[in-house]
Structure 1
Amino acid sequence: MKVYFLGTGTSQGIPVIGSNHPVCKSTDFKDKRLRVSVWISWENYSFIIDCGPDFRQQMLSSNCQKVNGILFTHEHSDHTAGIDDIRPFNFKQGEIPIYAHQRVIHNLKKRFDYVFETVNKYPGSPSVKTIEVINDQPFAIGNKTAVPINVMHGNLQVFGYRIDDFAYLTDVKTIEKTEIAKLQNLKVLVVNALREERHDTHFNLKEALDFITLLQPEKAYLTHISHIMGYHEEVQKNLPANVFLAYDNLEIKI
């Protein structure tokens, strides 16, 4: 299974519009971060986790040719606002399944009502099939099983996903022991680490590292990274040997 990091930044991305922060001025490509998303592929299957406002650019950069489905973590715009740009895949493949919490599906229907129109639907609009994700109910994606992981983003429920020995968690601040139990014996864990300073709704770096220590995956990759975290190369030097700061267009194999 291949995991391709389409984006590793926060809701503003890096560089931030109008910012003079040194990281936003960096010439290192690893310091330039689109909104957070991953592309997971194996055999003839291809799935995306989250579809943010940089989706079109990410699909072109990664040369992704097919999307069998999109798994949504939650409804915030940096994770959903690119849904209109699935249209080229619709034209080639037809309807695209989307997997999400019922609340998220309802939110998408309000914000992108034309996508879900059943009467007089505009023929060029995106076409999706909604599949509700329910906690404690694993579901099939291709010939694999996705296990939803229930976490909290402040007061907002968010889903992470485990597929085989890989788990992807973003926008996490707290997680119950029952959910932690679903994350044992991982080969690769991807988890958010916003910055060094504390944040009300995201793991900071210490919280993410403590979480990694608790789970003991073979390798861990940090994502959803703010410019305030610092330069990629400087942060990486101070991480444990099995922990890596992810960056856009990084591809790993599991």
Structure 2
Amino acid sequence: MDATAALEKIKSQMKSVNVEKAIPLDIDLGNLTAYDMNPLDLEKITNSETKEDCLKEVARDNVQLLFNQLFQLPTSLTASSVLAHLPAAKTILPREKPLPKIKAKTRWEKFAQAKGIVKRKKTRMVFDEETEEYKPRYGYKSKVNESMDDWAIEIPNNADPYEDPVAKLRAEKKSRVEKNKKQQRRNAEEMTKKDISEKLTKMTTSGKKNALLDAIAVSRKSTASAGKFVRPVSGEKKSKLFKTKNAQ
């Protein structure tokens, strides 16, 4: 078999890239999806022997139409591949999770906003001129913590000669840690109080609504017909007041 015959045999086994549908597909290239509204062949889809092949054929044709649209998009060449520029998505997909709640501001954030203080991001590493190395600004292996491990600590002239400088440094660090934890607990408590206040406000609003409905029910029963001929208010539900039990 020559090469031409082999190529013709391969071509005969391959399906055409030109696919025709009675109802054109709704293609959303932004989400790489295609929606096929054409009805399936009822005879093939209900037959267990031909059902799988029928679904595969429909899926193949739809994917082919999607790829035909993709190859018509503008492209850009990179060092490793060719990239297609997808348009904006047409289908708006719902969120999997609800929107995150707005985080309550801490006291410092409120103060900074009131005073117009802009937070400037500091670098994590700082240069230590003594060791000529970069060290973390805070935390493990920082210069502040390493000062406690020094074998010699410089004492100013006005310091108490009987005071332990190492114990003083440890006490100052412990005080800073406790202060930081206290501020964190205070901020957490304020956020919790705010959440509780919002819930109570909602409950109070709901209670006012129920009280108003009860007042409407009382006024309805105050008429001569005991509210029989009074038209209901729009959106009004049946009140639980004035319910009578059936006679036994």
Q: Same fold (TM over 0.5)?
A: no
Normalized against structure 2, the TM-score is what? 0.16
Structure with a larger share of its residues in helix: 2
In our comparison, the structure showing a higher alpha carbon Rg is: 2
Higher strand share: 1
Choose between structure 1 and 2 for higher RCO, CA contacts under 8 A separated by at least 6 residues.
1
